[in-house]
Amino acid sequence: MAADFHFASLPAQRVPRLVVSPRRLLADVLSKGWVESLIPFVALICAVCGILLATDGYFAPSNLRNLAQYAPDGGLIVIALLVVVAVGGIDLSVGSNFAMSAFVALFCFHILQLPVAAVLALTILAGALVGTVNGAIAGLLGCGALLTTLGTMITVRGLYTLASQAQLVEISSSARMDDTWDWIGFEKVLTLPVGFWVLLVVAALAFVMFRQTRFGWHLLAVGGNRKAARHGGIRVRQTIFLSYLLAGSLVGLAGFLFAARQNSIGSDTGIGMEFFALTALVVGLGGFVPGRGAVVSVLIGFTTIYVLNNAMVNAGFRGDFVQLSMGAIIILILAVDVKFRKNRHRLLASTYLDPVAFETDAVKGMQGLMPDETAPKLRDATILAVGQVDGPEDVLLDKDGNIYCGSRDGYLFRIAAPGHEKAEVLAKLGGRPLGLAFDRQNRIVVCVAGMGLMRVSLDGAVELLTDQAERSLFSVQDDTTIRMADDLDIAPDGTIFFTDASKRYDIENWGLDLLEGRPNGRLLSFDPATGQTRTVCDNLRFPNGVCLTHDGKYLLVASTWECSILVFDLARLREGPRVLTSGLPGYPDNINRASDGGYWVALAGMRNPVFDAAMKNPQLRRRMTKRVPPTNWLFGNLNIGGVLKIDGSGTIIDALWDTPDGPLYMITSMREHEGALYLGGVTNNKIGRLELTGADPGWCGPTSYWGAQG
Amino acid sequence: MSADSAAAPLTLPNQGSGRRNMLERVVAAATFLLIVAFAATIDGFATTGNLGIILINSASLTVLSCGMAVVIISRGLDLSLIAQMVAGATIFGMLISGGVAAPLALLAAYLSMVAIGALNAWLIAYVEIPSMLATLASSMFIVGLFRFAVLRGEYLLLLPKSDPTVAFFAGRLLPFLPVPVALMLGTLMATWFLLNRTVAGRIIYAMGDNFQAARLSGLSVRVTAIVVYVFAAFTAITAGLIMASASGAVDFRTVTNGTLLFEVILVVVLGGIPLRGGRGGLRNIIVGVALIAVLRNGMTLMNVTTQTQDMLKGLILLAAIITDNYLNPRDAETDTAGDL
């Protein structure tokens, strides 16, 4: 049977290549996980740009090498602080400990004349000793970290001042030279100073520790939620102790590098270092956040502060101005971060729904067929399996007359012929089974919202065909996952065409997609031979029902929000859809073949003039969703639904309605089978069966698709 | 029943259980022993003259401790206290040197303290930055600003010692009552009044006890935060005036070396006011100050260097928090990672 329409003369449907909306872009960016670590990146870029504009040749190789020369001790201390902050503590003693370690290094080198390796070991040990004290008091005993490290900070500083005053003259008058010592302090390996390599290696190790090791995970768990970590069997106190120990050792290493480079110490060594490190940490983490081991972010924060500091001093600003701006930067970043963290989800919630104006064609072709103009024919329908099925969005009948349908809780049911009395589980799918179709091998292919495209053989075996599509170009939100697989049909060559009704809303929020009114859906195809999923047409407005024309050459797709039926030419899919019929009186859902060469179209709900007007006014819908409770929102009328019969050219020839208080409302699917029409509804708990007059009593769906022998 | 409830608001919250006050008692006992030991070993310790010196020398520390105690009881922390102190003294000193009348200069200094305190409170209560970080940053900001804009990079601002106002602050109100001691007593009384006789005082305890409960039950925690931090700023400038007048100079290095801030926190902790807030009162401040003042005086008389004193004080703090932790162990079930 040839199609009764001439494809080329149908009006073309405009499908946007790209949906551009600033609000949507904002919402998509906000929902990204990386947005929280954006702050240090932005800060670094701002700092670098500012320096580039304000200075000349700051980023020359010689100056960069100079920067790298002095960076390692600060960088190591920031990483040490990160380890402690990640576990939920704080270490104010890093500055004093740093000075003390530098003193120990110089003392061991110049006074005790030890070999460099021993100096290194003893210095790290000295740093670790302070870490041990901190860890023992703050970790093992469980005292407050702030007071503990304040105490060690003051004590160690006093000790350092006493010790350095006693030994300073001897240290500075020592004449000991050592090649290894100088190599560590001044040499370069592969153009970078040795100390900088040390920093890089430590950073890499810390990165691996937080990502890959059990200890690193324990650190983050304790920092994230101490109680949960304890209940989870982590030794909280030991973990905290070890983190302070590790931090102390890192500070010791930093002090060693400093000593090898400077070969001297002063009374102000390490003073204010804890504030500098804290600033870098706050900039890097975008706030003071326990339970995050973001080594890279923190190093970026360190670089920002370090370079900014250095550039300001280079440009002739005094230390007081640098201090002033550092204070201002911390306040600013903390303020932005606190407010952002607090309001991010609100902002996301208020920007995610992004309505757009669009106009639906006026209702046409329904003269004498509207519910108030014609007798409710569905009144004569018999009701099957009441209460045994919950939400049969689609109904499917095999050649023997058994009914198959999905349910709200993810089952696929079979209701056996001839009595259609008892529903029994065929398979458990999960998700929300929607559209159904038989393939050539008599297996059921199911669209499952939340899962994808699945296939069930009649003995109950389930397999997933696909749950991912190609990611569309320029999409910020990852749209590879098929969120709402809705309906499908299968071409003679076996290709499965199915719709993903919305890329932005899950099945439980399908109503929001209507209120948004944007083309969020897509038509996909799956080739069982190759296993490939392709996007046939992106950016459709809630593409819902799919039906192959009787000749198998065209594909009908219901565009629910537009109240129209689109048609694709399977031979020329690239040309895009044309409009078969528009201006339907309700929201079309599934489309299925009729025995006389026409098609049945289910209407899930009815349009009304108020809501049609609201669709032209996006601001109204935006304000409505913000200010009015969802139960009072304007919406299409879902209390009455029906079935339209269209002929092969798309002209409406009949309409079946139930009485206003009838049991068959919100009809989402119907199948003709041997002279009767079976009706399903996505929110209904029953299946209707209506005897048709004048229909071919021998016609059934699988035969129509695959022939009598299949 | 009605008599009980009428009497209840008058009871100090720290007069509840005996065990809670253990640290305070230990410290009081230690102070007493220290006084006995110093009196026995150091010549000139147990004299009325030395008592006067102890009082005058500990005046600014006591005043600052009052501010810090109020902040800590409300479960806050003000690390910018010393920065505010020098900033306030700087404003006063600059205005005095510029020939502004003393009352006007004082008024300007105190008004600017309202601004600084309110700024801190705004950052903490409205922007909701944790108090430790907010005041750490504002401390850096204040010191940087004053050294940059007012002192032009210098660390020191000299006060005209001959100025009558400066001389007044360094002198005596009554023959037996030096002005610093009078200010100290005034501040102590003001603190007692704020904590025990005002609505804000009740809210301060409620905030410290359970901040969320206080907020959710409709107490004006944000406005009270402003009261708390402005009060702290007032104590800061009062201490600044005492200190600057006594030494004739405002020294910004008191901020950078951190010793004074450390002593203030030490006083509060030794007195038995927990960092988590909600408990403590005037008695705790006095006990804490007494130990530190006696210790400082005795060690100075024994010619112990400042560094050794610092070191000893650090060790005392560590000993105090370990003791406190032993006496009031943390509950592992309610212990959260954010609790520093």
Q: Helix or strand or coil: residue A446?
A: strand
Question: Which of B123, B322, B335 minimises the CB distance to A141?
Answer: B322
Q: Between residues 196 and 225 of chain A, which touch chain B (CB distance below 8 Å)?
A: 222-225
Q: CB distance from B147 to chain A under 8 Å?
A: yes
Closest partner CB to B336 (pick from A87, A165, A226)? A226
Mean of pLDDT over chain B: 87
Residue A604 DSSP symbol: E
By Cβ distance, the residue of A87, A275, A338 closest to B129 is A338
Cα separation, A641 vs A656, in Å, equals 9
State how far residue B142 is from chain A, nearest Cα, in angstroms. Answer: 7
The residues, ordered by sequence, that sit 6+ positions from A2 with a Cβ below 8 Å of its Cβ are A551
**For residues A73, A74, A78 and A81, what is the CA-based torsion angle, rounded to 10 degrees?**
70
| Residue B338 located in a structural domain | no
d(CA A637, CA A611): 9
Chain A 542-601, CB below 8 Å of chain B: which residues?
A: none
**Which of chain B's residues have a Cβ under 8 Å away from the Cβ of A323?**
140, 143-144, 147
pLDDT of B16 higher than 50: no
Report cis status (omega within 30 of 0) of the bond before A543. Answer: no
Specify the range with the lowest mean pLDDT, choosing from A677-681, B79-83, B332-336: B332-336
Q: Considering only residues 257 to 276 of chain B, which have any Cβ-Cβ distance to chain A shorter than 8 Å?
A: 257-259, 262, 265, 269, 275
CB of A343 less than 8 A from some CB of B: no
Cα–Cα distance between A430 and A407 in angstroms, integer? 10
DSSP helix/strand/coil, A521:
strand
- Interval A425-436: pLDDT, tens: 999 999 999 999
Cα–Cα–Cα angle for A304, A310, A316, rounded to 5 degrees: 135
* Contact (CB<8Å) A330/B315: no
pLDDT digits (tens, 9 = 90+) for B236-280: 999 999 999 988 889 888 887 778 888 999 999 899 888 888 888
The answer to whether A441 and A451 are in contact (CB under 8 A) is no
3-state helix, strand, coil in chain A (%, to 5): 45, 20, 35
Say which CATH number the domain at B168 has.
1.10.3470
Report DSSP letters for A474-491, one per residue.
T-SS---B---EEEEEE-
Which of B80, B264, B306, B307 is the best residue to mutate to test the A interface, defined by the most A CB atoms within 10 Å of its own CB?
B307
Preferred mutation among A90, A137, A150, A154 to probe B, highest tally of B CBs within 10 A: A154
Q: Do B144 and A89 touch (CB under 8 A)?
A: no
Contact A407, A433 (CB under 8 A): yes
* A162 shares contact with chain B (CB less than 8 Å): yes
Q: In the predicted model, what is the mean pLDDT of residues A44-63? A: 85
Contact with chain A for residue B35, Cβ under 8 A: no
Closest to A248 (Cα-Cα) out of A146, A129, A144: A129
With an 8 Å Cβ cutoff, are B310 and A155 in contact? yes
Is there a domain that residue B159 lies in? yes
Beginning with the edge strand found earlier in the chain, give each strand of the sheet holding A543-548 in spatial order.
A543-548, A554-559, A564-569, A578-581
* pLDDT 10s digits, B144-161: 999 888 888 788 888 887
Contact residues, A window 321-340, toward B, CB-based 8 Å cutoff: 321-328, 330-331, 334-335, 338-339
Question: Nearest Cα to A261, choosing from A369, A106, A376, A461?
Answer: A106
Question: Counting runs of H as helices and runs of E as strands, what totals does chain B give?
Answer: 15, 4
pLDDT at B14: 44
Q: Given this model, what pLDDT does residue B71 score?
A: 96
Closest by Cβ to B314, choosing from A144, A151, A271: A151
Does the beta carbon of A515 lie under 8 angstroms from any beta carbon of chain B? no
The confidence band for A3, taking pLDDT boundaries of 50, 70 and 90, is: low
Domains held by chain B: number: 1
Cβ of A275 and B140 within 8 Å? yes
B216 phi and psi, to 5 degrees? -70, -25
Q: Measured between CB atoms, does B302 come within 8 Å of chain A?
A: no
Beta-carbon contacts of residue B97 (< 8 Å; ≥ 6 apart): B159, B160
Q: Which residues of A touch B129 (CB under 8 A)?
A: 331, 334-335, 338
Q: Is residue B158 part of a domain?
A: yes
The C-alpha angle with vertex B98 and arms to B93 and B100, in degrees rounded to 5, equals 85
- The pLDDT of residue B6: 41
> Does any domain span residue B284?
yes
Q: What does the pLDDT read at residue A556? A: 95
Q: How many CA atoms lie within 13 A of A156 on its CB side?
A: 32
Distance from CA of A271 to the nearest CA of B (A): 8
> What does the block give as tokens for A380?
């004569």
Band of pLDDT at residue A132, cut at 50, 70 and 90: very high
Q: Is residue B332 part of a domain?
A: no
Inter-chain touch B134–A331, beta carbons under 8 Å: yes
Question: Residue B292's domain spans which residues?
Answer: 20-27+44-327
Q: With left for phi above 0 and alpha for psi between -120 and 50, is residue A365 left, alpha or beta?
A: left
Q: How many CB atoms lie within 10 A of CB B167?
A: 13
Least confident piece of the model among A596-605, A671-680, B46-55: B46-55
* Set of chain B residues whose Cβ sits within 8 Å of the Cβ of A289: none
Cβ separation A327–B142 shorter than 8 A: yes
* pTM tops 0.90: no
Q: Is the four-CA dihedral A534, A538, A541, A546 of positive or negative sign? A: negative
DSSP 8-state code for residue A637: B
Question: What does the domain layout of chain A look like in residue ranges?
Answer: 19-54+272-352, 70-266, 371-470+480-706
Lowest mean pLDDT among A39-48, A80-89, A162-171, A541-550: A39-48
The domain defined by A371-470+480-706 carries CATH number 2.120.10.30 = yes
- For residue B4, is it within any domain? no
Q: Are A554 and A567 in contact (CB under 8 A)?
A: yes
Give me chain A's average pLDDT, please. Answer: 90
Q: Which of B148, B334, B340 lies nearest to residue A321, judging by beta carbons?
A: B148
Q: Is residue B184 part of a domain?
A: yes
pLDDT category at B92 given cuts 50, 70, 90 is very high
> Which of residues 348 through 407 in chain A touch B, CB cutoff 8 A?
none
Average pLDDT over residues A396-402: 92
- Residue B10: predicted pLDDT: 44
Helices (H), A486-546: 510-516
ipTM: 0.86
What is the structure's pLDDT at B156?
87
Q: Identify whether B213 is part of a domain.
A: yes
* Residue B12 clears pLDDT 50, i.e. is over it: no
For residue B339, is pLDDT > 70?
Answer: no
Pairing of strands A423-428, B172-174: unpaired
